[in-house]
Structure 1
């Protein structure tokens, strides 16, 4: 005889609505809905089996123990935690909220960050990639709209030319179209054969190293200004006990990577000037009086002009590729008089892009393997197919017999005498078009961490459920699968989660309105 749970096994001829109705009609439905609350809204939750024990924090004594077999569905549901909104909107919504707090606390303080950071000079800079070939683009020479979010200004012709010449492959070198914002041609090369796809994926791959050197150059520029202006260096004692003299100013950053439509990554970076406390290196203090936001802007522009990265030699490019920033480097001040950028807008902007990846290019896939690469890569295909093929081709193993895939004795000895292939990671990140970095990173001293926010949220929920923080939950769990058991379960859990989110949003709005009324009355 089948059990009630068997009715929900995949393969049973029940539609989604019928599955949901049957689940809702079960006597244990309320318990099941509460059981799935922590993962409600997740598109593909993780199912875990094992034992969960409640342990007293002070003594380590086990107060209670429960096996997942005693729980609804015999499993414990855990949200997948995926940050990408295209994969799981609910988990991305949580991640976006955390990203907003990480960025905002670095601008205004809070959650352990002193409020004094709000008085530190800070700029919002955008670093773009150079050109790898002509692409269709949308350019508005002059904005007359009230807000950029609802811009309806007429764009200029894409690539107007006085003559309708063609490239060496016979493709038109001009485009007189005035592209709409949703035109699928935006970001596509005018000539696929002229475009340097290999250089672009290498740029994406080494963009993180380019940023690292750029930040070092910014700090060196500011240190030089301190020397020339007579601002004394600070004597500090390192953890190893050594005495060092360090510049009195340092730069803390929060950075978000955004993929352009042409599939080249660019960075939006918050750079904040901090001082150095000789007695506490982790303290956030104001920079010295002699260094201003003008100096920070000058340092950024100087570093962008100076810093380049020459990549290691490759069989296809023995001299390596040059990785440098593009000409379009935008630096704006935040919370300046008459400026459009405020800390809240910047934090929301960066948090939004922290949940995206390659969606704007039209490509979405998991990590590619030799079994799946042919579904996406094609040296004669469209723009994305050629970029993925370039990643796979440039990241191929070196020093082996590519025809048979086996290495000779000489090849094996050669691999011992040389460094590993510096481009091997391109295959690992082919699904990301070469970019292997995290989409949101920050300096250690910039703000709070995601881990701290997650721990705080878990502690709050534990106290809310148990009424006490004296116990710790310890689980010995193993992976049982991913996803809801049926589409009907997903519908019920996600609907309940959406209702809870809506209730929280309304509650926050009511609290904000009450605070406004109190302030207006005062």
Structure 2
């Protein structure tokens, strides 16, 4: 039942899911670094761009990540992780991890991090203790490779591209960024699942600074604008059309070998070659009339000016014709 679902927590999770991933990757790297110490694998000395010598862990984890919106409106991540070593002579070189560290260790690090990382969001007037952000039970870790064990850039791009083709349309919601003039067409605290999620974004993202005047209090209502003094939840209104998720659909580590250009090309190839479905186009009704009073005013003013120019033109033409006949 919709009344039993915690819509507030879901949109907050969407908003903070990027921070959850950042902490999780750091935990994976810490796990592997500690494993190297226990197994006697020494740190590596590298020279930075400034010429300083640093001792760094002998392993490096690079990633490519795609955010996929599920039908229920929750963000779902598909992540490719690559475990590299560190070359002391060229810290930008791609080298295998040191002997003694295997893919099994990377799998164990991911499971450990996903099961341990959790944090509370900042206080909110509606929930002073904040919300708990953590991974659910559906953490699926698999090895990706070819028959000969060679994982090429094209294969990696193909894997990510099939998830990058999905967007928020799968939830049934499709709109541009919402404004105080358009939010009521989509948000409803008593509506369906999506309408309640959008309402939660707009309500939790409202301005939170103290106001005293009636005019200011009215501005804080559901029709109020974006907060001019951003707070931890202000982005919920900005990204209400994305159900609170404001991150990029695709991110990658700087050293990850797959480029965005290759991913775009592979995505286009995948969509053309996908035999499961053929999408010719998608049309969706988004509304009728002008979105704001300002748009209507501009349109009506332009139409009035056009009518006036046409009238003056007809009068000038008639005058010229009359003058020619009279002559």
TM-score when normalising by structure 1: 0.46
- CA distance 1:308–1:220, shift in 2 (3 Å): same
Partner SS state of residue 332, structure 1: coil
8 Å Cα contact 1:335/1:343 also seen in 2 = no
- CA distance 1:338–1:232, shift in 2 (3 Å): closer
TM superposition shift of 1:239: 2.2
Q: 2:82 aligns with which of 259, 272, 283?
A: 272
TM superposition shift of 1:336: 6.3
Looking at structure 2, the residues matched to 397 and 382 of structure 1 have their Cα atoms a distance apart, in angstroms, of 25
In the other structure, the counterpart of 2:54 is 244
Number of residue pairs matched by the alignment: 252
Q: 1:222 aligns with which of 17, 32, 36?
A: 32
8 Å Cα contact 1:311/1:320 also seen in 2 = yes
Q: Does 1:327 align with 2:327?
A: no
Q: Does 1:286 align with 2:96?
A: yes
In the other structure, the counterpart of 1:295 is 105
8 Å Cα contact 1:201/1:391 also seen in 2 = yes
In the other structure, the counterpart of 1:208 is 18
Partner SS state of residue 333, structure 1: coil
In the other structure, the counterpart of 1:395 is 205
8 Å Cα contact 1:307/1:324 also seen in 2 = yes
Looking at structure 1, the residues matched to 112 and 34 of structure 2 have their Cα atoms a distance apart, in angstroms, of 12
TM-score when normalising by structure 2: 0.72
Q: How does 1:472-487 map to 2 (within 5 A)?
A: none
Which is helix-richer, 1 or 2? 2
Looking at structure 2, the residues matched to 386 and 264 of structure 1 have their Cα atoms a distance apart, in angstroms, of 13
8 Å Cα contact 2:18/2:247 also seen in 1 = yes
Moved more, 237-246 or 199-208: 237-246
Looking at structure 2, the residues matched to 338 and 445 of structure 1 have their Cα atoms a distance apart, in angstroms, of 24
8 Å Cα contact 1:213/1:307 also seen in 2 = yes
Looking at structure 2, the residues matched to 352 and 337 of structure 1 have their Cα atoms a distance apart, in angstroms, of 21
8 Å Cα contact 2:158/2:263 also seen in 1 = no
TM superposition shift of 1:348: 2.6
Alignment deviations for residues 172-225 of structure 1 (CA, whole Å, 9 cap, x no partner): xxxxxxxxxxxxxxxxxxx10000000000000000000000000000000001
Alignment deviations for residues 337-392 of structure 1 (CA, whole Å, 9 cap, x no partner): 699x9986663342132233211100011000001000000000000000000000
- CA distance 1:345–1:450, shift in 2 (3 Å): closer
8 Å Cα contact 1:217/1:303 also seen in 2 = yes
Moved more, 384-393 or 269-278: 269-278
In structure 1, the gaps of 5 or more residues are 1-190, 408-418, 455-522
Q: What is the RMSD of the two structures over their aligned residues, measured on CA atoms?
A: 2.5
- CA distance 1:453–1:311, shift in 2 (3 Å): closer
Q: How does 1:353-368 map to 2 (within 5 A)?
A: 353-368=163-178
Q: How does 1:302-321 map to 2 (within 5 A)?
A: 302-321=112-131
Alignment deviations for residues 96-131 of structure 1 (CA, whole Å, 9 cap, x no partner): xxxxxxxxxxxxxxxxxxxxxxxxxxxxxxxxxxxx
In the other structure, the counterpart of 2:183 is 373
8 Å Cα contact 2:206/2:237 also seen in 1 = yes
Q: How does 1:2-41 map to 2 (within 5 A)?
A: none
In the other structure, the counterpart of 1:516 is none
In the other structure, the counterpart of 1:519 is none
- CA distance 1:287–1:345, shift in 2 (3 Å): closer
Q: Does 1:234 align with 2:8?
A: no
TM superposition shift of 1:326: 0.4
In the other structure, the counterpart of 1:447 is 257
8 Å Cα contact 1:201/1:387 also seen in 2 = yes
Partner SS state of residue 45, structure 2: strand
Partner SS state of residue 257, structure 1: strand
In structure 2, the gaps of 5 or more residues are 218-228, 265-327
Looking at structure 2, the residues matched to 433 and 453 of structure 1 have their Cα atoms a distance apart, in angstroms, of 25
Looking at structure 2, the residues matched to 335 and 374 of structure 1 have their Cα atoms a distance apart, in angstroms, of 48
Alignment deviations for residues 16-54 of structure 1 (CA, whole Å, 9 cap, x no partner): xxxxxxxxxxxxxxxxxxxxxxxxxxxxxxxxxxxxxxx
- CA distance 1:343–1:449, shift in 2 (3 Å): closer
